[in-house]
């Protein structure tokens, strides 16, 4: 399909400037002040912002095994509605993509039903049980993205060290959910002032940081790229910052909800606010923002984790962890950080495009001639509330329902094909 996007603005040296974008054969052919529209389909951007499509290196699509929460079709439609053109689903499915057979099955579903580019993780251990390594080379040869046991931390140092050694041999990263199970104590939220007030068991901050501290030293010894999922505490930031200064190959991500909310936002025993890692203290949130801005944390990832409505309508201690984020990430971050002057628009777009791609050496996330035609057009001005009934996802487990925001993606293109267009 040959397309020309007219009447839009792109970011150029930190400024929004009028440009036209020509798309041909799935690539961006030209970006210019004016492009002849003959024999092209025209997209009128109506003065809105044209961005590279966002890249989310941490989502849960639930299929196979959790289709009542989300499917690859609904999860990728949600991603497209949120402006994401590449997503990387975690392996906590049933079955786990821990073998060539299981990964092949997953790729088949992706090929048949995904509307955005999907790069699936394989697990580090068989069934994510932490007892036996997967066949790293065979899974790499079959087209997995990276290795992770996200959802659970790898508990033994020897298992993690040996995994890092194997991943390093094939130039892949170990992507870690960092949580020492012996320090969870049955917690359902952050251990702090609010958990005491609500009499809900708390998860201490050290539960996360102590495993990161172990792992960065193992990564140094194994000469492995080590990536930390959903960083949530100031202690974790300190360990990652020190590791980077020491020259260790460590990268990290942070979620929108950990940048926006703290334990003080938890209104009561409400499982919509139950997520892993939990919402931490204000000083933790402040440390995360500082770390993102100074490069200690490399990128933003949503950790989109859908659950059925009834699964969250129980006390926090009984509910599953997780919050959806694909359809709300940019709007929330733009409204709360760019419009308030804490981030520039250029910084926010970078955290969602070039930064995750640089983290994992991906060829996406760029709006330039010759790059993949992955584009989202965004209305930066119109304000309206986040409504669950508008979600493309099967689930709406987020505390941000009803929040009035601006920065809604109105059209998304992946590989030169229109995959989402806002209904007017």
pLDDT higher than 90, residue 424: no
Q: Is 227 annotated as a binding residue?
A: no
Q: Does the active-site annotation cover 303?
A: yes
Distance between CA atoms of residues 318 and 52, nearest Å: 40
The predicted structure's pLDDT at residue 423: 84
Name the nearest CA neighbour of 398 among 337, 312, 317, 330: 312
Q: Sign of dihedral through CA atoms 121, 126, 130, 134? A: negative
Kindly name the residue from 56, 98, 149, 303 that is annotated as catalytic. 303
Residue 333: the pLDDT is 98
- With vertex at residue 420, the alpha carbon angle to CA 415 and CA 421, rounded to the nearest 5 degrees, is 125
Beta partners for residue 125, in sequence order? 133
pLDDT over 90, % of the chain: 97
State pLDDT tens for residues 293-329. 999 999 999 999 999 999 999 999 999 999 999 999 9
Question: Is 90 exceeded by the pLDDT of residue 349?
Answer: yes
Distances (CA, A) of 331 to 53, 250, 380, 409: 14, 29, 9, 8
37 has a pLDDT exceeding 90? no
Give the 3-state secondary structure of residue 262: coil
Question: Residue 421 — pLDDT band, cuts 50, 70, 90?
Answer: very high
Is 303 a known ligand-binding residue?
yes
Which residues in 233-259 are b (16+ Cβ under 10 Å) and which e?
A: bbbbbbbbbebbeeebbbbbbbbbbbb
DSSP string, 39-105: TSEEEE-TTPEEEEPEEEEEE---TTT-TTT--HHHHHHHHHHTTEEEEEE-S-SSS-S-SHHHHHH
pTM flag (> 0.95): yes
Per the structure block, which two tokens stand in for 115?
């509307």
* Averaged pLDDT, 187-213: 97
The answer to the question of whether 276 is labelled as a binding residue is yes
- Cα separations in angstroms, 240 against 183, 246, 382: 20, 10, 38
Tell me: the pLDDT tens digits for 212-246? 999 999 999 999 999 999 999 999 999 999 999 99
Q: Mapped to the 3 state alphabet, what secondary structure does 103-125 carry?
A: HHHHHHHHHHHCCCEECCCECCE
> Which pLDDT band holds residue 55 (cuts at 50, 70, 90)?
very high
Lowest mean pLDDT among 12-16, 164-168, 257-261, 416-420: 12-16
Predicted confidence at residue 345, as pLDDT, reads 98
| 61 annotated as ligand-binding | yes
Strand pairing class (408-414; 375-379): antiparallel
Distances (CA, A) of 60 to 67, 88, 92, 140, 303: 11, 8, 8, 20, 7
pLDDT digits (tens, 9 = 90+) for 74-124: 999 999 999 999 999 999 999 999 999 999 999 999 999 999 999 999 999
What pLDDT is recorded for position 1? Answer: 65
The annotation status of 56 as a binding-site residue, yes or no, is no
pLDDT above 90 (res 9): yes
Q: Which residues pair with 50 in a beta bridge?
A: 377
> How far is residue 74's CA from residue 64's CA, in Å, rounded to a whole number?
13
| Cα–Cα distance for residue pair 36/366, rounded to 1 Å | 23
The confidence score (pLDDT) of residue 299 equals 98
How far apart (Å, rounded) are the C-alpha atoms in residues 325 and 407?
15
> In this structure, are residues 76 and 87 in contact, taking their beta carbons and an 8 Å threshold?
yes
Q: What is the pLDDT of residue 192?
A: 97
What's the rounded mean pLDDT across residues 180-208? 96
pLDDT tens digits, 144-192:
999 999 889 899 999 999 999 999 999 999 999 999 999 999 999 999 9
What is the spatial distance between Cα 92 and Cα 147, in angstroms, rounded to a whole number?
12
Distance CA 289, CA 279 (A): 14
Mean pLDDT of the chain: 97
Percentage of the chain surpassing pLDDT 70?
Answer: 100
């Amino acid at each position: 399909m040959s397309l020309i996007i007219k009447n839009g603005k792109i970011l150029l040296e930190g400024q929004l400037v009028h440009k036209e974008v020509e798309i041909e054969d799935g690539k961006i052919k030209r970006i210019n002040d004016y492009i002849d529209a003959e024999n092209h389909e025209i997209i009128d951007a109506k003065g809105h912002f044209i961005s590279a499509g966002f890249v989310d290196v941490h989502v849960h699509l639930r299929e196979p095994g959790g289709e009542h929460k989300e499917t690859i079709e609904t999860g990728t439609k949600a991603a497209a509605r949120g402006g994401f053109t590449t997503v990387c689903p975690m392996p906590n499915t049933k079955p786990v993509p821990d073998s060539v057979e299981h990964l092949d099955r997953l790729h088949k579903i992706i090929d048949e039903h995904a509307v955005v580019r999907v790069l699936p993780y394989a697990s580090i251990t068989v069934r994510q049980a932490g007892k036996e390594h997967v066949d790293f080379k065979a899974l790499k040869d079959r087209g997995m993205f990276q290795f992770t046991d996200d959802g659970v931390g790898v508990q033994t140092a020897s298992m993690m060290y040996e995994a890092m050694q194997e991943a390093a041999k094939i130039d892949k990263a170990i992507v870690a959910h960092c949580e020492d199970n012996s320090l969870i104590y049955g917690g359902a939220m952050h251990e702090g002032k609010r958990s005491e007030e609500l009499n809900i068991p708390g998860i201490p901050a050290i539960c996360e940081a102590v495993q990161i501290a172990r792992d960065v030293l193992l990564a140094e010894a194994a000469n492995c790229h080590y990536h930390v999922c959903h960083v949530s505490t100031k202690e974790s930031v300190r360990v990652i910052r020190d590791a980077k200064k020491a020259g260790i190959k460590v990268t990290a991500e942070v979620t929108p909800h950990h940048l926006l909310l703290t334990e003080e936002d938890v209104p009561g025993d409400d499982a919509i606010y139950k997520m892993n890692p939990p919402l931490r203290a204000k000083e933790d949130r402040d440390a995360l923002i500082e770390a993102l801005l100074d490069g200690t944390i490399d990128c933003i990832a949503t950790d989109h984790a859908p659950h059925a409505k009834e699964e969250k309508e129980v006390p926090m201690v009984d509910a599953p962890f997780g919050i959806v984020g694909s359809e709300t990430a940019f709007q929330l971050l733009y409204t709360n950080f760019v419009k308030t002057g804490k981030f520039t628009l250029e910084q926010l777009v970078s955290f969602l495009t070039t930064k995750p791609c640089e983290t994992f050496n991906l060829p996406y996330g760029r709006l330039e001639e010759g790059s993949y035609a992955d584009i989202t057009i965004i209305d930066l001005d119109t304000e309206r509330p986040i409504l669950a009934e508008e979600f493309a996802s099967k689930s709406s487990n987020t505390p941000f329902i009803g929040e009035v925001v601006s920065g809604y993606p109105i059209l998304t293109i992946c590989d030169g094909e229109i995959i989402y267009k806002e209904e007017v």
